Amino acid sequence: MKDKLDRWFADASQPFNVFSHHPSLVKAILCAGLYPNVAATEEGVIGPAQGSNRASSSGIAVKEHRLWYDGRREVHIHPSSVNYNVKEFRYPFLVFLEKVETSKVFLRDTTIISPYCILLFGGPINIQHQTGLVVIDGWLKLTAPAQTAVLFKELRLTLHAVMKELVRKPEVATVSNNEVVRSIIHLLLEEDKP
pLDDT at residue number 141 = 97
3-state secondary structure of 47: coil
pLDDT at residue number 19 = 85
R_g of the chain computed on alpha carbons? 19
Residues 6+ apart with CB under 8 A from 110: 39, 77, 78, 81, 82, 83, 94, 95, 96, 97
Q: Indicate the average pLDDT of the chain.
A: 87
- Per-residue pLDDT at 105 exceeds 60: yes
What does the pLDDT average to over 2-19? Answer: 77
Closest CA to 115 of 93, 131, 88: 93
Confidence of residue 146 (pLDDT cuts 50, 70, 90): very high
Confidence of residue 165 (pLDDT cuts 50, 70, 90): confident
- CA angle 147–153–158, rounded 5-degree value: 125
Q: Give the model confidence (pLDDT) of 47-74 as tens digits.
A: 766 444 433 333 334 356 789 999 999 9
